[in-house]
């Protein structure tokens, strides 16, 4: 006999079945900021595709954790996905230089699909020019960058402004993961 708690938990765990998410990757991503959200959305049933500049390349995180790109950026079509995750670390400084990454983020923004960004990931959203008037958080180290891009910056663990979900740093991963999953669960499927 299942307990009420187990039944409720089991139902919640799979609420993202049928959803597809892009997780961007490049060298020196912050290991936890990539893998925690990826595992979190997979636990609830979503399919997550790791995407890098080169399909099949293994990228190494700041602390040595590998991530193999299952797809290249150029293979992706934003209309086939329900959300996108941008990790922190030093990877965002590289990711924002790829026109296809900026195109994907802009298209997700235009379609109001969940965009998750943590720590330095805000750099990608800045380069995509989608932060004007948006309330966000990030590592305090890029606060000026975020504000100069027109964002309203808050020093809070997680900030949700419509479809943009932002967090500061690894200790904020639990509420960030939940907030991204909540946004993904309520997002309209194409």
Task: Supply the residues annotated as catalytic.
Answer: 120
CB 158 within 8 A of CB 179: yes
DSSP category for residue 163:
T
Number of Cβ within 10 Å of residue 10's Cβ equals 10
Provide the H-helix boundaries in 76-150: 91-95, 99-110, 122-127, 143-148
Number of Cβ within 10 Å of residue 107's Cβ equals 17
């Amino acid at each position: 006999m299942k307990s009420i708690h187990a039944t409720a938990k089991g139902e919640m765990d799979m609420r993202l079945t049928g959803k597809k998410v892009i997780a961007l990757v490049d060298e020196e991503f912050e290991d936890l900021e990539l893998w925690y959200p990826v595992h979190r959305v997979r636990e609830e049933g979503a399919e997550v595709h790791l995407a890098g500049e080169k399909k099949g390349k293994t990228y190494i995180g700041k602390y040595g954790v590998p991530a193999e790109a299952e797809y290249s950026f150029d293979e992706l079509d934003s209309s086939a996905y329900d959300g996108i995750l941008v990790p922190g670390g030093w990877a965002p400084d590289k990711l924002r230089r790829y026109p296809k990454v900026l195109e994907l983020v802009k298209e997700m923004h235009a379609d109001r699909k969940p965009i998750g960004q943590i720590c330095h990931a805000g750099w990608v959203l800045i380069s995509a020019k989608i932060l004007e008037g948006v309330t966000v958080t990030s590592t305090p180290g890029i606060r000026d960058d975020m504000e100069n891009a027109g964002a309203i910056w808050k020093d809070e663990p997680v900030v949700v402004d419509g479809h943009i979900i932002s967090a500061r740093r690894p200790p904020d991963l639990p509420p960030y993961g939940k907030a991204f999953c909540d946004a993904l669960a309520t997002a309209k499927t194409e």
